């Protein structure tokens, strides 16, 4: 099943609002076996919406739109979709009743403006459990001249996702299963601590082992994800082929693979710490709380992450982490000795199993010939001692801070992994 996603709204085009709906719809459709072949965004202009619907319809089996269902003058998706399918707008009596009941419970009067949200194209299948004031609905291909199913969803992410979960995804999955057409399944391997080009050299030519599958390199500041894809109508066949490809990749680059699926390194580390009944504390200088933030982004991190110290000044390094004044004077704040004392100091102060210390020159200023921008020292202190490593990143401040977080987590992952050997 080929799917096209059309997000509607001026706020998306001008960058005022991040288009998370397109990402969420694409991800969930892909997860149930559909193929997303195109995405586009258009303004709240009827002729633009209708034109884009015609363009997308030539490429797909299903169009999913989101946005433009509100009660104001710039919400024109319903009228545009009706024009596309050459249908009149009719009032959905059941949805009007739902609106009346909701407004009564709130002690508000249902105005003509809100009542107009019960107007839908003739022949639409309306989902009356929509959580907002705008209903989601579907126009089956059999109800109009175009050989494409049209699904219309609200733009509010929570409302959109609820209808996706309740109606759209089960329908897509059912259609695919009934058709017997091949389904593409994906598996993601998470790597860190290795550049994309080096990783590609280790893996070699994918054509040697993919056997019709696909392999994509997805780099970010925190590592490279390897997305494997295979297609088959049989689930067991897809799983076996994914296993075979993963085993080959691990045999060539296993040292750098820290996990599988879409979870991040912090979550992987958290699971390991939980399994070992270990805890973590962090001491940060150049990352300014980003490392702790990466940990607390993980749901349930309170089980293993105890806290941290943002020791931006030397006074805080000395008073809260026990970094020796003589060390700072002799080696400077960005040094191996200071990183080690920060890691050991936060471990002692907070009482954690593991401590991480990060100190560096994030930039754009503050560098020197000896310690240029991008110089970062990271140390990990644990039950069996302290390890430290010098990292040399870029001249970009944001890049350096992101890569410092990734490097710190990878060093902790290495230590946890080494303890199991």
From first to last of its 421 residues, what are the pLDDT tens digits of the chain? Answer: 999 999 999 999 999 999 999 999 999 999 998 999 999 999 999 999 999 999 999 999 999 999 999 999 889 999 999 999 999 999 999 999 999 999 999 999 999 999 999 999 999 999 999 999 999 999 999 999 999 999 999 999 999 999 999 999 999 999 998 998 888 889 999 998 899 999 999 999 999 999 899 999 999 877 899 999 999 989 899 999 999 999 999 999 998 998 887 678 899 999 999 999 999 999 999 999 999 999 999 999 999 999 999 999 999 999 999 999 999 999 999 999 999 999 999 999 999 999 999 999 999 999 999 999 999 999 999 999 999 999 999 999 999 999 999 999 999 999 998 766 5
Structure tokens at 206: 């994918």
Structure tokens at 302: 């309170």
How far CA 407 is from CA of 228, 255, 260, 391, in Å, comes to: 25, 15, 18, 8
Q: Residue 36: which residues within 8 A CB-CB, separation 6 or more?
A: 3, 4, 5, 25, 26, 29, 30
pLDDT of 421: 52
Q: Angle, to 10 degrees, between the axis of helix 314-321 and the axis of helix 336-350?
A: 40
Spatial distance between the Cα atoms of 21 and 31, rounded to a whole number of angstroms: 15
Query: Which domains are assigned to the chain?
Result: 2-179 (3.40.980.10), 183-260 (3.30.70.2860), 265-419 (3.90.950.20)
pLDDT of 288: 96
Cis amide bond preceding 191, omega within 30: no
Q: Angle, to 10 degrees, between the axis of helix 169-179 and the axis of helix 20-31?
A: 30
- pLDDT tens figures, 55-80: 999 999 999 999 999 999 889 999 99
Q: Residue 375: which residues within 8 A CB-CB, separation 6 or more?
A: 334, 360, 361, 367, 390, 391, 392
Q: Residue 6: which residues within 8 A CB-CB, separation 6 or more?
A: 39, 40, 41, 42, 49, 52, 53, 56, 63, 64, 65, 66
- pLDDT tens figures, 380-419: 999 999 999 999 999 999 999 999 999 999 999 999 987 6
């Amino acid at each position: 099943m080929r799917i096209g996603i059309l997000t509607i709204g001026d706020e998306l085009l001008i960058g005022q609002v991040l288009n998370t709906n397109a990402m969420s719809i694409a991800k969930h459709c892909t997860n149930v076996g559909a193929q997303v072949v195109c995405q586009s965004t258009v303004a709240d202009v009827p002729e633009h919406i209708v034109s884009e619907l015609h363009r997308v319809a030539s490429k797909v089996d299903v169009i999913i739109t989101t946005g433009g269902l509100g009660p104001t003058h710039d919400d024109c998706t319903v009228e545009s979709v009706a024009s596309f399918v050459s249908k009149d707008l009719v009032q959905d009596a059941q949805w009007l009743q739902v609106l009346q009941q909701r407004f009564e419970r709130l002690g508000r009067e249902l105005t003509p403006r809100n009542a107009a949200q019960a107007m839908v194209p003739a022949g639409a299948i309306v989902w009356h459990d929509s959580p907002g004031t705008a209903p989601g609905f579907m126009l089956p291909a059999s109800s109009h001249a175009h050989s494409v199913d049209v699904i219309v969803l609200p733009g509010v992410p929570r409302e959109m996702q609820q209808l996706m979960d309740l109606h759209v995804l089960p329908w897509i999955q059912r259609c695919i299963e009934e058709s017997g057409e091949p389904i593409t399944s994906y598996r993601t391997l998470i790597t860190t601590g290795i550049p994309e080009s080096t990783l590609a050299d280790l893996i070699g030519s994918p054509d040697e082992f993919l056997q019709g599958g696909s392999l994509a390199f997805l780099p970010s500041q925190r590592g490279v994800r390897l997305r494997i894809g295979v297609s088959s109508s049989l689930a067991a066949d897809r799983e076996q082929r994914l296993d075979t490809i993963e085993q080959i990749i691990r045999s060539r680059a296993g040292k750098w693979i820290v996990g599988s699926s879409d979870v991040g390194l912090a979550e992987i580390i958290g699971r390991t710490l939980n399994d070992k009944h270990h805890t973590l504390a962090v001491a940060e200088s150049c990352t300014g709380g980003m490392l702790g933030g990466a940990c607390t982004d993980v749901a349930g991190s309170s089980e293993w992450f105890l806290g941290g110290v943002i020791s931006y000044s030397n006074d805080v390094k000395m008073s809260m982490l026990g970094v020796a004044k003589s060390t700072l004077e002799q080696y400077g704040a960005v040094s191996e000795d200071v990183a080690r004392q920060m890691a050991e100091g936060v471990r002692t102060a907070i009482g954690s199993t593991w401590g991480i210390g990060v100190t560096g020159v994030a930039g754009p200023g503050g560098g020197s010939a000896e310690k240029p921008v991008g110089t970062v020292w990271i140390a990990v202190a644990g039950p069996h001692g302290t390890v430290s490593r010098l990292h040399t990143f870029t001249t970009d401040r944001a890049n350096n801070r992101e890569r410092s977080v990734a490097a710190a987590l990878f060093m902790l992952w290495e230590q946890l992994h080494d303890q199991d050997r």
